[in-house]
Amino acid sequence: MTVPQPFQYQGSKRALAPLILQYLPISTTRLVEPFCGSAALSIATAARGRAREFWLNDFNAPLAKLLSLIVNSPKELGKFYQELWRADHADALEHYYQVRESFNRTQDAHRNDFRMIFEAL
């Protein structure tokens, strides 16, 4: 099973995830990934339906929060993405700059984590 990753990450466990999953229970309540990096293990586990909850942590806290949203709330993330970026905007470039300015200015971590995907590209 090939599982897409949101972005490339040096040192990712993506290639090792199928091997690591062999040692996990078939079904578990929560998978804890203390050094998530690209969350390859959590993403692989979620794609196979092997855990109901995921707790991700990393030194880069905003990245870990964003990856947690991707794994734990993919439908909400998709809906937010559509509302933010696919809506009609008279000036798409100006809309992008407004979103970027809001990202840089606000302390609203939940909304910023969704937007961080697009700032990193």
* Percentage of the chain modeled with pLDDT above 70: 87
Measured between alpha carbons, how far is 45 from 100 in angstroms, rounded to an integer? 32
Mean pLDDT (the chain) is: 80
Please give the Cα distance from 76 to 81 (Å, whole number).
Answer: 8
Which stretch of 3-12, 40-49, 77-86 has the lowest confidence by average pLDDT? 3-12
Q: Which of 49-53, 82-86, 91-95 has maximum average pLDDT?
A: 49-53
Mean pLDDT of 39-61: 90
Q: What is the mean pLDDT of residues 49-53?
A: 92
**From the centroid of its chain, how far is CA 51?**
16
pLDDT digits (tens, 9 = 90+) for 52-66: 999 998 888 778 888
Q: How far apart are CA 120 and CA 15, in angstroms?
A: 23
**DSSP assignment, residue 86?**
I
Sole residue written with tokens 């897409």: 4
- The CB density around residue 74, as the number of other CB atoms within 10 Å, is 12
Cα–Cα distance for residue pair 59/34, rounded to 1 Å: 9
Q: What is the pLDDT confidence band of residue 29, given thresholds at 50, 70 and 90?
A: very high
**Over 80: is that where the pLDDT of 91 sits?**
yes
